[in-house]
Structure 1
């Protein structure tokens, strides 16, 4: 069957296979890549031009494969949650993400990036804990450390992905499973007690957090609910809202590289978070879109200064 984008951005799927025809071009790599936690992410894989994702729905676990076609995207799903997985495809691929009010014509780099990346969309998963848990794990450490910890914990406490697909695919842990992980396994994965405790606290209020994504693309109330979890700060809330809610204004202030990268791209020099906020202020309400255009532009700042040191949290 065909999944046709409706005016409301809602599609009723049927069966385990469907074809989605978006109203606007969608670049699968640029749109979905923001969900990938490193090349070895057990919940995300790319093979033969197809994108594989695992997800947990009310009905159960699911494996979703998305493949580009001349007229849209072929969607296939397996598992008890296959129907819900197909239903999520439009918003996963940016249905409802409206860029029409974003004006970047005055900035050459942004204007060029928007022209060269017409298929870039802000994806919305609607699954808050699945975005929040890895964001907490990534706090204050390098990507190498964080991605390894994510692989270790999902492999040990997640579930085997249903259906075909890459053998390493797993479904991320349930809220109950996150709460059951013993301290020594967090330690073995390289996650310190503070971050482990934050994930466990978030899992304890997961039902309330998930409700924030039912019909919202972010905003003040979502931000307040995310920040109400002790240990979830501005950076973690932004990283979560970007993925779970598709928040067009969520900026990851506090990121080790972001302010410098965006500063170099927009004004030719590195900046701190305060200056980044000032730079992005003209686009308030759409600041995440501007950040994504910078990152999609291919711009890279000059390599200067020390690299962040990888620490072994398993040694204490």
Structure 2
């Protein structure tokens, strides 16, 4: 099917402030992400792979009108516009979130336009999340770019800069070991990605299920642990309570923000219990504010698997 050259459009009315740039920042994998870019005018451009095919979506906020406008091109244009409210966070309901602490009150006001997004696309979030397992962001994002450039495809439509769509599951499932090696992806992560790609259809069906069942199904795949499942549920499923347990920074940052000390995961979860239902909302607000614990010791050195 050829991609339409005329944009499909949709306008989402918002009763409260919703900032799509802030909300969708968590979908971007580094400043050089080839599938997600923000133009000088604040328009978000994203190449995506929907169940109906590839699409490009351009999203612009009109705060004075209480509206967010989406334009889309490609075979998946209608699908992505149908899911636009979830993508920009307009369906997230922070009701019931009680910050309770002065710091969180300030951050809640400062980032009032931030919402938990829901893309409805599991592999779109699962692929880069697996690449980010137990490596630096620099390593993971380099691998992400190489895989997208070499095995993805150009996004349809008139983006003002090169825009790409990530590889489909069938392509990832068929990559030979040397291609993963060439992209700087170690064997364990490569094997996990291939397993997930082979189960992609079943994993995509988790959208809309109870969050506990979503986590169970994701974690039933060897190599997908609590951290990876949480990273996916935050983005694909809109789970405002999913905590990225096992992250190298988050527990320390939460502890430093809330108590001026470093937490481990166990302590972080105990403290966050008072915000159950909104625990990811708390950790993301702290992350958006850039609050981090002071670094101790040498930085972790990136590894290049291609050198071996």
TM-score, scaled to structure 1:
0.91
Mind listing any 5+ residue stretches in structure 2 that lack a counterpart? Answer: 1-6
CA distance in 1, matches of 2:161, 2:25: 20
CA distance in 1, matches of 2:262, 2:183: 33
Regions of 4+ moved over 3 Å: none
CA RMSD between the two structures: 1.5
CA distance in 2, matches of 1:282, 1:165: 44
**SS in structure 2 at match of 1:53:** strand
Equivalences for residues 54-73 of structure 1 within 5 A: 54-69=47-62, 70-71=64-65, 72-73=67-68
Deviation at 1:221, TM superposition (A): 0.3
> Retained in 2: the 8 A contact 1:63–1:77?
yes
**SS in structure 2 at match of 1:239:** helix
Q: Which of 31, 35, 39 is 1:39 aligned to?
A: 31
**SS in structure 2 at match of 1:276:** helix
Q: Is 1:257–2:246 an aligned residue pair?
A: no
Q: Is 1:275–2:267 an aligned residue pair?
A: yes
Per-residue CA deviations over 1:133-162 (Å, capped at 9, x if unaligned) read 110011110000000000000111111100
> Retained in 2: the 8 A contact 1:109–1:297?
no
1:162 corresponds to which residue? Answer: 156
1:29 corresponds to which residue? Answer: 21
Deviation at 1:114, TM superposition (A): 0.6
Q: Which of 179, 188, 195 is 1:185 aligned to?
A: 179
**SS in structure 1 at match of 2:12:** strand
1:242 corresponds to which residue? Answer: 234
Q: Which of 65, 71, 76 is 2:71 aligned to?
A: 76
**SS in structure 1 at match of 2:128:** helix
Deviation at 1:315, TM superposition (A): 2.0
Per-residue CA deviations over 1:62-91 (Å, capped at 9, x if unaligned) read 000001223122211011111111111101
CA distance in 1, matches of 2:80, 2:216: 28
Deviation at 1:166, TM superposition (A): 4.2
Q: Is 1:99–2:91 an aligned residue pair?
A: no
Q: Is 1:309–2:301 an aligned residue pair?
A: yes
1:3 corresponds to which residue? Answer: none
CA distance in 1, matches of 2:83, 2:203: 18
CA distance in 2, matches of 1:159, 1:23: 37
| Corresponding pairs, count | 300
> Retained in 2: the 8 A contact 1:22–1:90?
no
Deviation at 1:279, TM superposition (A): 1.3
Q: Is 1:114–2:108 an aligned residue pair?
A: yes
**SS in structure 2 at match of 1:165:** coil
TM-score, scaled to structure 2:
0.94
> Retained in 2: the 8 A contact 1:109–1:294?
no
Deviation at 1:313, TM superposition (A): 1.5
Q: Which of 225, 228, 231 is 2:220 aligned to?
A: 228
Q: Which of 77, 80, 97 is 1:85 aligned to?
A: 80
Mind listing any 5+ residue stretches in structure 1 that lack a counterpart? Answer: 1-14
